[in-house]
């Protein structure tokens, strides 16, 4: 009996070992198992298809960092393809992370640290330009300016590229007005930036607060200081690409535009653990809130902790940050709740208690007001099935 099991090729440059490739693959596998697909890793699927006659395709579908050659050969063979590479030249159905939203997340995080000077170092690819746009737009919306410089995102390709990247980074850093918030498009380049700043006697994060690109764990957590970055949820891209490929293999029409998935959230680490405000009392209050917001504190408790009168502290917050003490407490609690909802398995009620809300009702009302969705809806939107 001839097998009816679907054969799906995967072309994702898995040999590079980067999380932005392997996580997509990890997201494919559970769905493929449920659908009983046979998954074949073929890093040269474009060439494999080029060798096939019109009725001899060895696969029923392909998920890929799609090249123009792959798209051409798949079209010739009538083979559905789903692309997961933002910089792909191929015009095929695609699933991407919403990189513009990720850029806005990075900017909002640095703005909330009280910073007023900003710089970006990134590549010139489509994906990097989208991240840059989101970042710069948010900075400009706040009435501030941001400088941008460009660099190869693979500086270790050869010695010449490495030395050129080192020079470009040193020249870029020479233009900093401290303290400054910095966004670097690739986590591996962000590590070079941090290392260069430290070698020049600059303090991380007190003088240079650095946010990276896509939460490559080895670069973000393996070295000191740890690197703040954005979790794009790349496994969700693999999952949604699999779902879309399943529809296409079942004969459904392709979508008219790429599917964009919002980032899961920003993962704050030591490289941005700093509040840049001129008022030492406000800085102490911000740090107290960050460390104690999970407890039942309010503006009065914060004021007492930093030795200030509540009304005086409120006035200083408005002057320095253009927001009140209660607003900052609420913001920090909501950010913690977002991470719990995305990564944890605790119930909504347990999360409400853990992040400092008095009750599940209060948590639901605040979350709905701040984000426009309920906690349960947010969890559903930001976790793969």
Give me the number of domains the chain comprises.
Answer: 3
d(CA 334, CA 329): 9
In the chain, what is the greatest distance between 2 CA atoms, to the nearest angstrom? Answer: 82
pTM: 0.76
Each of the 385 residues of the chain gets a pLDDT tens digit; together they read 345 789 999 999 888 767 778 899 999 999 999 999 999 999 999 999 999 987 778 999 999 999 999 999 999 999 999 999 999 999 999 999 999 999 999 998 998 888 889 999 999 899 999 999 999 999 998 899 999 999 876 777 788 888 888 898 999 999 999 999 999 999 989 999 999 999 999 999 989 999 998 888 888 888 889 999 998 989 999 999 999 999 999 999 999 999 999 888 888 888 998 877 778 899 899 889 888 888 989 999 999 999 999 999 999 999 888 889 999 899 888 878 887 887 677 899 999 999 999 889 999 999 999 888 899 988 887 664 3
- For the beta carbon of residue 15, count every other beta carbon within 10 angstroms: 9
Residues 39 and 116 in one domain: no
Residues 224 and 118 in one domain: yes
Residues 203 and 161 in one domain: yes
- Those residues whose C-beta lies under 8 Å from the C-beta of residue 321, and which sit 6 or more positions away, are 114, 277, 282, 328
User: Quick check: 22 and 233 in contact, CB under 8 A?
Assistant: no
Tell me the CATH number at 260: 3.40.50.2300
Q: What is the pLDDT of residues 325-373, one digit of tens each?
A: 999 899 888 878 887 887 677 899 999 999 999 889 999 999 999 888 8
Residues 90 and 106 in one domain: no
Which of the listed residues 243, 272, 301 is the one where a domain comes to its end?
A: 272
Q: What does the H/E/C string look like for the chain?
A: CCCCCCEEEEECCHHHCCHHHHHHHHHHHHHHHHCCCEEEECCCHHHHHHCCCCCCCCCCEEEECCCHHHHHHHHHHCCCEEECCCCCCCCCCEEEECHHHHHHHHHHHHHHCCCCCEEEEECCCHHHHHHHHHHHHHHHHCCCCCEEEECCCCHHHCHHHHHHHHHHHHHHHHCCCCCEEEEECCHHHHHHHHHHHHHCCCCCCCCEEEECCCCCHHHHHCCCCCCEEEECCHHHHHHHHHHHHHHHHCCCCCCCCCEEECCCEEECCHHHCCCCCCCHHHHHHHHHHHHHCCCCCCHHHHHHHCCCCHHHHHHHHHHHHCCCHHHHHHHHHHHHHHHHHHHCCCCHHHHHHHCCCCCHHHHHHHHHHHHCCCHHHHHHHCCCC
Q: Which residues pair with 40 in a beta bridge?
A: 9
Residues 33 and 22 in one domain: yes
Domain that holds residue 27: 7-97+234-264
Residues 228 and 163 in one domain: yes
């Amino acid at each position: 009996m001839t097998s009816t099991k679907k054969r799906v090729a995967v072309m994702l440059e898995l040999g590079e070992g980067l999380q932005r490739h392997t996580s997509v693959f990890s997201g494919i596998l559970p769905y493929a198992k449920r659908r009983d697909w046979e998954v074949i890793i073929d890093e040269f699927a474009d060439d494999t298809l080029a060798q096939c006659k019109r009725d001899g395709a060895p696969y029923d579908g392909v998920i890929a960092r799609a090249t123009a050659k792959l798209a051409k050969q798949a079209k010739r063979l009538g083979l559905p393809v789903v692309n997961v590479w933002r910089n792909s030249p191929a015009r095929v159905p695609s699933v991407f992370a919403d990189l513009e939203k990720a850029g806005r997340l990075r900017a909002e995080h640095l703005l909330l640290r009280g910073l007023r000077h900003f710089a970006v170092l990134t590549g010139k690819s489509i994906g990097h330009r989208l991240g840059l746009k989101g970042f710069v737009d948010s900075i400009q919306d706040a009435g501030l300016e941001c400088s941008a410089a460009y660099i190869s995102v693979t500086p270790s390709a050869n010695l010449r590229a490495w030395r050129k990247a080192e020079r470009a980074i040193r020249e870029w850093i020479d233009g900093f007005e401290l303290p400054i918030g910095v966004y670097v498009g690739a986590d591996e380049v962000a590590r070079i930036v941090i290392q260069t700043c430290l070698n020049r006697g600059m303090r991380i994060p007190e003088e240079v607060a650095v946010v990276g690109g896509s939460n490559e764990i080895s670069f973000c957590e393996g070295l000191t200081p740890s690197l703040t970055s954005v979790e794009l949820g790349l496994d969700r891209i693999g999952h949604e690409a699999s779902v879309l490929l399943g529809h296409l293999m079942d004969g459904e029409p392709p979508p008219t535009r790429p599917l964009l998935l919002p980032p899961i959230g920003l993962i704050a680490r030591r490289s941005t653990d700093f509040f840049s405000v001129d008022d030492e009392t406000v800085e102490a209050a911000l740090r107290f809130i960050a460390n104690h917001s999970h407890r039942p504190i309010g503006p009065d408790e914060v004021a007492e902790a930093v030795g200030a009168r509540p009304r005086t502290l409120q006035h200083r917050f408005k002057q320095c940050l253009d927001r009140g003490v209660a607003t900052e407490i609420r913001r920090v609690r909501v950010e913690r709740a977002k991470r719990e909802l995305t990564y944890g398995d605790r119930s909504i009620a347990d999360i409400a208690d853990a992040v400092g809300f008095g009750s599940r009702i209060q948590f639901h009302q605040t979350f709905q007001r701040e984000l426009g969705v309920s906690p349960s809806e947010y969890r559903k939107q930001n976790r793969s099935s």
